[in-house]
Amino acid sequence: MNRNRNNNIKNALPYIILLVIICGTLFFFNLQKYEVHEFTTGELIKEIDKESIIEMTITPNSNDSVYYVEGKLEDYKETESFKAKVIPEEVGVILEYNESHDLKKYETKADPGQNTLLVIIINFLPLVLLVILSYVLFTKLASGNNKSMDFGRSRARLSEDGGTVRFTDVAGLKEEKEEVAELIDFLKNPKKFQKLGARIPKGVLLVGPPGTGKTLLAKAVAGEANVPFYYISGSDFVELFVGVGASRVRDMFKQAKQTAPCLIFIDEIDAVGRQRGTGLGGGHDEREQTLNQLLTEMDGFGANEGIIIIAATNRPDVLDPALLRPGRFDRQVTVNLPDSKEREEILAVHAKNKVFDKSVNLSNLSQRTPGFSGADLENLLNEAALLAVRRDRQNISMDEIDEATDRVMLGPAKTSRKITEKEKKLVSIHEAGHAVIGIKLTDAQEVHKITIIPRGMAGGYTMMLPKEEKIGIMTKDELTSQIVGLLGGRASEELYYGEITTGASDDFKRATRIARSMVTEYGMSDLGPMQLEEKSEGGVFLGRDYAKTKNFSDQVALEIDKEVRNIIDKCYSEAKKILKENEKLVKDISEALMENETLTKEQIECIVETGKICPVEPERNNEPTTLKLKEIAKAKGIKGYTKMTREELLEELKDEIDK
């Protein structure tokens, strides 16, 4: 607190000095408004004879051998006065006048020339004050507190102990931890590597989507190694003036050498490490000089032994090739989105300080959140906790988690919005079309939830999740099934509502994107196994609209359009065919949505089996519910389990339940 107070005083000091100067100047000019009449000795004696002097001061001065006389006359204003110089011989006349007349004010001052201390103060005090002021100013300029003098100093912040984050605090990322574990071993015991002539990577680049834990992993490396840890953002290097960024890079490595072995973490390195000489407007001199200095410091003539640099970015495609060559960032660690098991571990970490209801199962929640990053999962649980507090609950239940999932994906529900029965009917039929395609099509995704409550820009939505997680490879049938599912909403409108609406515009956008990629990138059309479009590496600075390279003629462009249209038309016909064959199911789901607005996976399965929503099943001596029994039967591969009654399922799974 005192430190902040002292800083505030130092910052205000120049303004205080300026204020004093201004006030002194104004006071000086105000003094000039006083009117002073200069009298000769004769004029002064005349005024004495007239007896018009009411105030007078006599000051002797040995240096000039004269007396200074100041005073006022009767007819003077407040701002008027007189002054005169009188020789010693004539002072007697003035003193006689004082004896014969009673002046209102009369004073005789001592000779200032006789006061040695006063002479010293007047002559030497300004000089002493000037020297002291100069010393204070130069000392402040030389210190690091002055922002104008440390312009080129590094903005990297130092953590001596590497921080408190450890690998146990980082859920998932098993392979990524193994990749960076070598850095910790090297920092702790470098001789083990040097003995065999091994060279540890000078730089490690963490690449991955936002929110996957790149910064957290770097903190864990520093914490495990327990070495000095410098952390800085790429934007901290770049300044308005050319050369400042390069100076900061030099200063950062200079500081790091003094505390080696150590770690330097540069977050968002793409802010300073972009390719040189690119873009519509040419290069960026400040950023390029900063990058040049960084390249030189990492692997130039000078040696930086014991300094390991970790950088993070989600845009590796824009980085300069010289930054990625061996000797610099010669190891890239891809931090991918977590799978189901890793998501469960991440949820467990973020659930430590939260109170959950017994019904909450983190394993099931991890299955329902494919594509969520670690940051998304943390935000999901936080939103659920906020909802529980808002509802005055003592713990967090699955209701809050379901609502939080929807809020994270699509935004808050618009419960206050007035929806007409016509709109409600239309949306229910549209979403029922999506759901039936997902239920009946073999390669389609699994339907987990349907709602007609508006969220964000959507009037309703159908949550469809993959039946099993994959590493990213998809077959042609799976892609085609996705398109059929997306077109199911429009097909249902046309068949069971009697007219088409604008509600399927986003479905068309996604379906067309998949179909075009099948033709131009994946080679899944009659045009053959050819890649006709690709993302351009050189177009990253021109904007996303220019980021594709087209390797075909106008004639081929026409054929591409025809192939895309054929795929869309076939998928649309397939969607209409499936919906016609399952007209009753479409209407049952639509009516259930009209009544309940939201359907869960359990309710949807009940409608498929019985045509209506099943009542809530009561607890039966801790026996598993019918839904749980079907999940077990599905995992065991039992045929026809969907048509079995509860008693049949219990009999079939008796041994499994006993376990």
Q: Is 35 a catalytic residue?
A: no
Percent of the chain at pLDDT exceeding 90: 6
Q: What is the mean pLDDT of the chain?
A: 76
User: Would you state the pLDDT for residue 513?
Assistant: 92
- First-last CA distance in the chain: 64
Of the candidates 339, 299, 298, the residue with the CA atom closest to the CA atom of residue 172: 339
Percent of the chain at pLDDT exceeding 70: 72
Higher pLDDT, 638 or 272: 272
Q: For residue 443, give every residue at least 6 positions away whose Cβ sits within 8 Å of its Cβ, in sequence order, or none.
A: 475, 477, 478, 480, 481
Token digits for 331?
């190891």
Give the model confidence (pLDDT) of 251-271 as tens digits.
788 877 887 777 888 888 888
Rounded mean pLDDT, 184-191: 77
Burial of 639 (C-beta count, 10 Å sphere; 0-12/13-18/19+): exposed
Higher pLDDT, 535 or 347: 347
User: Would you state the pLDDT for residue 158?
Assistant: 64
Kindly list the strands in the beta sheet with 307-313, ordered across the sheet, starting from the edge strand earlier in the chain: 157-159, 229-233, 262-267, 307-313, 203-207, 331-334
CA angle 222, 225, 231 (to 5 degrees): 20
CA angle 275, 281, 286 (to 5 degrees): 55
Q: How confident is the model at residue 542 (pLDDT cuts 50, 70, 90)?
A: very low
Give the model confidence (pLDDT) of 383-394 as tens digits.
888 988 988 888
Token digits for 34?
């006083």
Q: Is the pLDDT of residue 619 over 50?
A: no
Residue given tokens 């002797």 in the structure block: 60
User: Would you state the pLDDT for residue 147?
Assistant: 47
User: Per the omega criterion (within 30 degrees of 0), is the bond before 326 cis?
Assistant: no
Rounded mean pLDDT, 244-254: 78
Of the candidates 524, 521, 517, 487, the residue with the CA atom closest to the CA atom of residue 505: 487
Higher pLDDT, 497 or 190: 497
Q: Out of 31-35, 69-73, 368-372, which region has the weakest mean confidence (pLDDT)? A: 31-35
Q: Is the pLDDT of residue 64 over 60?
A: no
Give the model confidence (pLDDT) of 158-179 as tens digits.
665 556 777 877 888 888 888 8
Give the model confidence (pLDDT) of 554-589 as tens digits.
888 899 999 999 999 999 999 999 999 998 888 888
Residue 255's alpha-carbon distances to 298, 370, 633, in angstroms, are 14, 43, 63
Helices (H) and strands (E) in the chain, counts: 22, 16
Q: Is the pLDDT of residue 441 over 90?
A: no
Rounded mean pLDDT, 338-344: 85
Q: Is the pLDDT of residue 102 over 60?
A: no
User: Would you state the pLDDT for residue 514?
Assistant: 92
Q: Out of 78-87, 95-104, 333-342, 410-419, which region has the weakest mean confidence (pLDDT)? A: 95-104
Q: Out of 2-6, 326-330, 484-488, 536-540, which region has the weakest mean confidence (pLDDT)? A: 536-540
Q: For residue 279, give every residue at least 6 positions away whose Cβ sits within 8 Å of its Cβ, in sequence order, or none.
A: 541, 542
User: Would you state the pLDDT for residue 314?
Assistant: 84
Burial of 102 (C-beta count, 10 Å sphere; 0-12/13-18/19+): exposed
Q: How confident is the model at residue 17 (pLDDT cuts 50, 70, 90)?
A: confident
Residue pair 266/233 in contact (Cβ under 8 Å)? The answer is: yes
Q: Centre a 10 Å sphere on the Cβ of residue 36 and count the other Cβ atoms it contains.
A: 10
Q: How confident is the model at residue 503 (pLDDT cuts 50, 70, 90)?
A: confident
Kindly list the strands in the beta sheet with 105-108, ordered across the sheet, starting from the edge strand earlier in the chain: 35-39, 80-86, 66-73, 53-61, 105-108
User: Would you state the pLDDT for residue 621?
Assistant: 47
179, 288, 431, 652: the catalytic one is 431
User: Would you state the pLDDT for residue 188?
Assistant: 75
Higher pLDDT, 20 or 75: 75
Bridging pattern class, strands 80-86 and 35-39 = parallel
What SS3 class is residue 565? helix
Rounded mean pLDDT, 618-625: 53
